[in-house]
Amino acid sequence: MRVLVVGGNAGGASAAARLRRLDENAEIVVYEKGDYISFANCGLPYHVGGVIPDRSQLLVQTPQSMKERFNIDFLTGHEVTAIDPQAHTVTVRNLATGSEVVDHYDKLILSPGGSPVRPPIPGIDSKGITPLWTIPDMDRIVAAVRGGARRAVVVGGGFIGVELAENLREQKLDVALVEMLPQVLSFLDPDMAAYAHQELLAHGVELHLGDGVASFAEGTPGTLTVTLASGKQLTADLVVLAIGVRPNTQLAEHAGLAIGPTHGIVVDDHLRTSDPDIYAVGDVVEVEQFVTKSRALIPLAGPANRQARIAANNIAGQDDTYTGTQGTSIVKVFDLAAGATGANAALLTRLGIPFRSVTIHPGQHAGYYPGSTPLHIKLLYGTDGKLFGAQATGYDGVDKRIDVLATAIRMGATVDDLTDLELAYAPPYGSAKDPVNMLGFVAQNDLTQLAESVAPEQLNDELARGALLLDVRQPEETSCGVIPGAMTIPLPELRARLNELPRDRKIIVTYCKVGLRGYVAQRILAQHGFQVANLSGGYTSWEAATTKGIEAEAVPLEREADDQQTRAGAAPARQEAQTVEIDACGLQCPGPLLKLKEALDKTGPGDLIKVTASDPGFYADVAAFAQGQHLDLVDRQRGKLVTATLRKPLQTVPAQGFTVVPGKDDDHATIIVFSNDLDKIIAAFIIANGAQAMGKKVSMFFTFWGLNVLRKDENVRIKKTFIEQMFGRMMPRGANHLTLSKMHMMGLGTNMILGLMKKYNVSPIEAMMRSVLDGGGKFIACTMSMNLMGIHREELIDGIEEGGVATMLGDADQGHINFFI
């Protein structure tokens, strides 16, 4: 039997090797048009980043090694240009010589993979634009990086684009990631992709979501200008296209083989094409999605290798079947892992399959064992409890949970089955109730209506139907953000305050940080006769589901490292100085700051305080806190956890409070803008401009109603909750819509004042604002108030920063002039 294989990489090489193991006598020839066979394309991004330093490690096999071990002829530089199914022949061109031969087969295996999509965007053929698909592509990118490229634009936020963004960042490039969809990693639901957005932003990747490339143009020699659909322009020394992959079906089409609606080659469950002597495997075939039984293209290495084995088994006379592709996948996003298996919400919705979902945020191992970090896991299942899909993100333990869930789905498990799984447990590795068991418990409660849950995306509908939202967290937690319109009763007070809750409301939706206390509250209320649902995944899920992608200014990594080195040498330690270590993992803002403050009170001058937190926001907060408290930030690291080491100064400063410490430079003026009354805002900007004129650095911190001053004039179309929409409509949109605090007189008084300002040459507010910004002043939008009032970043004018109380107090501490308006 003579077997020819088209394509010498994942599927082709695997099929050939398996066949040889089953049939020592078969003649096997593999044609590969490229220069390499069996190379590790999944490893390409990591050689770019220097994680796999030795390029030769990617070349897993060579034609020589395959000949020696398997007696298979791998002919590189040979492209199969045609198939004649009747004659059982292929035409092969030697790319080096241009000569062609016709070769005969008894069985043919097609594994030509796919090609990166290259849409007809103006300027796409410019120098400096490359995909990342093959070894030569990788070599081009490595050469550009070694040649001094400083700024890269990665187009496409799939797993290759995300991996490449990370690895280019590791090489200290400024990286902008452009994605036409509103999220990266479309195999995840938007609420789960939000964690990847946070991680990318935290590592200085500039994210441009919901914005496609309109054109490329060559700029000054060696640079490119990338113009986005929104009109934004990005400059780059290197552009990498990672927009997607299209199956290489041309050969099959010309040979008359059946092509499916997804444009992949149609194969049966034995991996046979419409011609019984031709098999096809890998990225080129259309598969059956295992859960939904729909047709799909799922280009992954695992399925390609398994299909190759099955095709070879069948050719060798065994009867083997392929049972579909689940799409189990995982990707590293800096320190975060994001994985998924089965169907996601978008697929189920598109196919009209009814489903329910729950999300939980447990620690990946017992909270009391050091280093516990949160996992975010979402389970999707049918109304009969059958598992449809799962997604997880986190710093540790994602692969384990996704693989367990993938296995469960493959075995046709239900929600009930998850509660029965007995999984490995010791404190460093898991919990007695593993997160997978927990998913089962929560989903079971949902299905049995013991504890009905509301998914974050359903919350708006519930509220529109008149539901009351009840926040059962502690007051200090709510300062980090609340869902607009919620009533707050901390869980410990709930039993005593039942009479405050209306019994005429159809339903009460409880929520806490991650869903657990919300569930306890739900059970209390249900047993007192209230109709209650719990917000699945609590505030954490809601925040993730409603967070929009934002752009980040890239923070050059080396600059940060330099800062840290400088600080490390800042002040000598007292000889008997001690180091106090605090574990603030599991706490959210302001928890880690409060713990830090507590430790400060107990330590002496020169002591070091090392704090570890799992809240990513702590990275920014700790710097502002250190500045405000006159502490040396000796070290600050961001990884799975945020760690920071601070040193108390040797000379005692007067107090631990923020405001009583004398300013360091005394050249700052801080104005907290709380109001949105026209008269007060005019006063605020007059003071700000005046302070700048006197040489002060001005920081204006806009909080609560004051945030409205920063809103854009025009209506920004973004998805909002019902309550947010109501709030948004009731509040003034920008500086041009403010009214007087007194004597507004249905607009008459306000217009009179504006007229008088014009008459006496007082600049309009917008001009005063611009002047503060142009003069180097800072506008800081209070993130907590933004959450509270449902104001999104996109609704605010350009040029502002977002920050919390630590940022504001840090600035206030730099001077003596602090106003509250």
Cβ atoms of 821 and 670 closer than 8 Å? no
Q: For ligand FAD, which stretch binds (CB under 6 A), given 42-50, 388-396, 474-482, 662-670? A: 42-50
456 binding ligand FAD? (CB under 6 A): no
Residue matched to tokens 């993730």? 544
299 binding ligand FAD? (CB under 6 A): yes
How does DSSP assign 434-465, residue by residue? -HHHHHHHHHHHHHTTSS-EE-GGGHHHHHHT
- Considering the complex, what minimum distance in angstroms separates the CB of residue 54 from ligand FAD? 17
Q: Which one of 3, 9, 395, 672 is in contact with ligand FAD (CB under 6 A)?
A: 9
**What does the block give as tokens for 342?**
């089965």
132 binding ligand FAD? (CB under 6 A): yes
- Considering the complex, what minimum distance in angstroms separates the CB of residue 316 from ligand FAD? 19
Q: For ligand FAD, which stretch binds (CB under 6 A), given 282-290, 522-530, 729-737, 756-764? A: 282-290
674 binding ligand FAD? (CB under 6 A): no
Identify the sign of the CA torsion 388, 515, 807, 559. negative
- Considering the complex, what minimum distance in angstroms separates the CB of residue 348 from ligand FAD? 22
Q: For ligand FAD, which stretch binds (CB under 6 A), given 281-289, 538-546, 738-746, 791-799? A: 281-289
248 binding ligand FAD? (CB under 6 A): yes
Q: Which is nearer to ligand FAD, 97 or 566 (CB)?
A: 97
Q: Which is nearer to ligand FAD, 298 or 812 (CB)?
A: 298
- Considering the complex, what minimum distance in angstroms separates the CB of residue 114 from ligand FAD? 6
CB atoms closer than 10 angstroms to residue 417: 15
- Considering the complex, what minimum distance in angstroms separates the CB of residue 606 from ligand FAD? 48
643 binding ligand FAD? (CB under 6 A): no
Spatial separation of the C-alpha atoms in residues 610 and 60, rounded to whole Å? 44
Q: Which one of 191, 211, 237, 283 is in contact with ligand FAD (CB under 6 A)?
A: 283
- Alpha helix (H) residue ranges in 271-329: 301-315
**What does the block give as tokens for 119?**
């849409």
Report in angstroms the alpha-carbon separations of 487 from 476, 496, 537, 722, 805.
Answer: 15, 15, 18, 16, 23
- Considering the complex, what minimum distance in angstroms separates the CB of residue 158 from ligand FAD? 10
- Considering the complex, what minimum distance in angstroms separates the CB of residue 33 from ligand FAD? 4
Residue matched to tokens 């849950």? 453
Report in angstroms the alpha-carbon separations of 25 from 22, 67, 71, 72.
Answer: 9, 14, 10, 11
Residue matched to tokens 């410490």? 661
Residue matched to tokens 């000598």? 572
Q: Which one of 1, 34, 139, 704 is in contact with ligand FAD (CB under 6 A)?
A: 34
Cα 588–chain centre separation: 19
- Alpha helix (H) residue ranges in 203-344: 250-254, 301-315
Q: Which is nearer to ligand FAD, 131 or 363 (CB)?
A: 131
Give me the phi and psi of 28, to 5 degrees please. -125, 125
**What does the block give as tokens for 632?**
């040396």
> Is 42 an annotated catalytic residue?
yes
Q: Which is nearer to ligand FAD, 284 or 514 (CB)?
A: 284
- Looking at residue 511, what DSSP letter applies? E
Q: Which one of 45, 430, 586, 591 is in contact with ligand FAD (CB under 6 A)?
A: 45
- Considering the complex, what minimum distance in angstroms separates the CB of residue 284 from ligand FAD? 6
300 binding ligand FAD? (CB under 6 A): yes
42, 512, 589, 782: the catalytic one is 42
What track of x and - describes contact with ligand FAD for positions 170 through 189 (by CB under 6 A)?
A: --------------------
Identify the sign of the CA torsion 153, 159, 160, 163. positive
Q: Which is nearer to ligand FAD, 31 or 290 (CB)?
A: 31
Q: Which one of 282, 515, 592, 606 is in contact with ligand FAD (CB under 6 A)?
A: 282
344 binding ligand FAD? (CB under 6 A): no
Q: Which one of 26, 145, 160, 297 is in contact with ligand FAD (CB under 6 A)?
A: 160
At 113, which amino acid appears? G
Cα 130–chain centre separation: 24
- Considering the complex, what minimum distance in angstroms separates the CB of residue 181 from ligand FAD? 19
10 binding ligand FAD? (CB under 6 A): yes
Q: Which is nearer to ligand FAD, 200 or 596 (CB)?
A: 200
286 binding ligand FAD? (CB under 6 A): no
Q: Which is nearer to ligand FAD, 327 or 592 (CB)?
A: 327
- Considering the complex, what minimum distance in angstroms separates the CB of residue 77 from ligand FAD? 9
Applying the rule CB under 6 A, the residues between 62 and 121 that interact with ligand FAD are 79-80, 111-113
Q: Which one of 4, 17, 44, 698 is in contact with ligand FAD (CB under 6 A)?
A: 44
Q: Which is nearer to ligand FAD, 283 or 724 (CB)?
A: 283
- Looking at residue 479, what DSSP letter applies? T
Nearest to 731, CA basis, from 723, 805, 688: 723
Q: Which one of 11, 537, 549, 706 is in contact with ligand FAD (CB under 6 A)?
A: 11
Q: Which is nearer to ligand FAD, 108 or 599 (CB)?
A: 108
Spatial separation of the C-alpha atoms in residues 677 and 73, rounded to whole Å? 81
- Considering the complex, what minimum distance in angstroms separates the CB of residue 283 from ligand FAD? 4
302 binding ligand FAD? (CB under 6 A): yes
- Looking at residue 796, what DSSP letter applies? B
33 binding ligand FAD? (CB under 6 A): yes
815 binding ligand FAD? (CB under 6 A): no
Cα torsion 190, 551, 804, 794 to 10°: value is: -80
Cα 735–chain centre separation: 33
CB atoms closer than 10 angstroms to residue 442: 26
Q: Which is nearer to ligand FAD, 109 or 710 (CB)?
A: 109
Residues 6+ apart with CB under 8 A from 414: 381, 384, 385, 386, 387
Residues 6+ apart with CB under 8 A from 545: 190, 191, 194, 456, 457
Spatial separation of the C-alpha atoms in residues 248 and 34, rounded to whole Å? 14
Q: Which is nearer to ligand FAD, 209 or 300 (CB)?
A: 300
Residue nearest to ligand FAD (CB): 282
Q: Which one of 22, 142, 180, 301 is in contact with ligand FAD (CB under 6 A)?
A: 301
Q: Which one of 4, 12, 195, 515 is in contact with ligand FAD (CB under 6 A)?
A: 12
Q: Which is nearer to ligand FAD, 42 or 507 (CB)?
A: 42
Listed in order, strand segments (DSSP E) in 35-189 are: 73-76, 78-84, 89-94, 100-104, 107-110, 114-116, 129-131, 151-155, 174-179
At 136, which amino acid appears? P
- Considering the complex, what minimum distance in angstroms separates the CB of residue 317 from ligand FAD? 23
**Rg of the chain's alpha carbons, rounded to an integer?**
30
Give me the phi and psi of 635, to 5 degrees please. -155, 145
Q: Which one of 74, 105, 133, 701 is in contact with ligand FAD (CB under 6 A)?
A: 133
- Considering the complex, what minimum distance in angstroms separates the CB of residue 786 from ligand FAD? 36
Cα torsion 454, 455, 459, 460 to 10°: value is: -140
CB atoms closer than 10 angstroms to residue 710: 23
- Containing 565, the helix (H) or strand (E) segment is helix 557-568
Catalytic residues: 42
Residues within the interface to ligand FAD (CB under 6 A): 6-12, 31-34, 41-42, 44-45, 79-80, 111-113, 132-133, 160, 248, 251, 282-284, 299-302, 304
